[in-house]
Structure 1
């Protein structure tokens, strides 16, 4: 599965041509309802080859995550996910059981697929006690109709300058492609994914870093479509908080961190966002 590692502080885009302006906004789907406080994480890339990340995740689930009413996992939880039948693998079963224990303890868990775990399905969601989210998803907290919603995304759909990756993304998210791929034996799927990972590392080394970043126009279009909310996403591995000006609206864009041997999260209490890592937190 492809991934990107751009500098999220610099986005690219093309100005609107004269006479162009905001497009009519289509009716928005009802926002998901959730409870505060909430934690947001992404890009853990869990694998047996990265024991520090695994240990950090297990500690997080038994500690910090239990302080939250809602936990949102916004993709790339695993280094790869070959299909829900891979739940029988001891490593995957252990991770799933740990998340399920958090859910059983009372924290609502929400899971959005990333580019690494896009094949996670209902069986996986049931195993971890989570609700599957579409990308993007609007969320509103504590049934406050007047509170502004948040918009959640994994983030790879915003990297529109990387044309090769977007073509690949469309292919592997096609339901017919997924049905055919999941019909193959698990061992064959894992071998194919391993070859893709090698190709991805080679391709990233040859790409200009700018084309792997989010595109400013893609971000603006997404925010416009969903009513100018605050946006939370991962994928780019460059944690930051940006202010996007769209059609006269100021929209905050929070970029989640990948995990590098310690936990990393974004906390929201309904008023303030606070980023944290390990046992520390910072506003």
Structure 2
């Protein structure tokens, strides 16, 4: 018995090899798991649940097949797909979780999240995040024609790309004090997140107690999958795409 965790696939029609790797996971590995968790940035950018394109439908179909077969699937929003909403959930059977979610996995409590809010030094991004998560702004956006949404997202993608190029790698990594604060808030010894594209398993001590932070990798050149087993064994797997 095991559970799978993935994040930062950044699915897009322009990277068919990543889509194919995702489909293989959904059709051959995920059905054997007890559950699948996606910790954000499944898509490079999600424009809205009303996306009429064939690519969006292809991804939805994969989720619907998986959840219909009996494997539960859970989703935590990332910084690029925070607009995935209730319609997507209804059409796929994927269950939407909160920004930070406490789960019990085979008797162990742990907190899962995308990880962007752990990067306190990335001030410009956090200011942008606060702005676009305002309910009134999202209410307006949801009601715009899809073609206008496409133009808005295209501009946002360009701005994000330019902003990222001007940042140091250190700024885009987590703040250790915030990691420890969140783990203390949820009273857990383990955290799983993505976002930073720095796959690793970190062990550290807090007041004499060992803590573990597992960072999922992105799928730019290789897939990154965490297998967490019933006996508390876990393995961060990588495979060339």
TM-score normalised according to structure 2 size: 0.95
- Supply the distance in 2 between the matched residues of 1:141 and 1:162 (Cα, whole angstroms): 31
8 Å CA contact retained: 2:110, 2:188:
no
Task: Tell me which residue corresponds to 1:102.
Answer: 66
Q: Deviations over 1:86-128 (max 9, x none)?
A: 1x21110011101110111121111111011000001101212
Q: Give the aligned CA root-mean-square deviation in angstroms.
A: 1.6
Task: Tell me which residue corresponds to 1:47.
Answer: 12
* Number of residue pairs the alignment of both structures matches: 240
8 Å CA contact retained: 1:240, 1:256:
yes
- Supply the distance in 2 between the matched residues of 1:278 and 1:148 (Cα, whole angstroms): 27
Q: Does 2:176 correspond to 1:209?
A: no
Structure-2 change in CA distance of 1:128 and 1:161 (3 Å): same
Stretches of structure 2 that go unaligned for 5 or more consecutive residues are: none
Task: Tell me which residue corresponds to 2:35.
Answer: 70
8 Å CA contact retained: 1:160, 1:215:
yes
Q: Does 2:147 correspond to 1:187?
A: yes
- The structure with the largest alpha-carbon Rg is 1
Partner secondary structure for residue 149 of structure 1: strand
- Supply the distance in 2 between the matched residues of 1:51 and 1:261 (Cα, whole angstroms): 12
8 Å CA contact retained: 2:40, 2:79:
yes
Q: Does 2:237 correspond to 1:272?
A: no
Stretches of structure 1 that go unaligned for 5 or more consecutive residues are: 1-35
**More contact order relative to length (CA 8 Å, sep ≥ 6):** 1
Q: State the shift of 1:261 in Å.
A: 4.6
Task: Tell me which residue corresponds to 2:78.
Answer: 114
Structure-2 change in CA distance of 1:120 and 1:210 (3 Å): same
8 Å CA contact retained: 2:38, 2:74:
yes
Task: Tell me which residue corresponds to 1:168.
Answer: 128
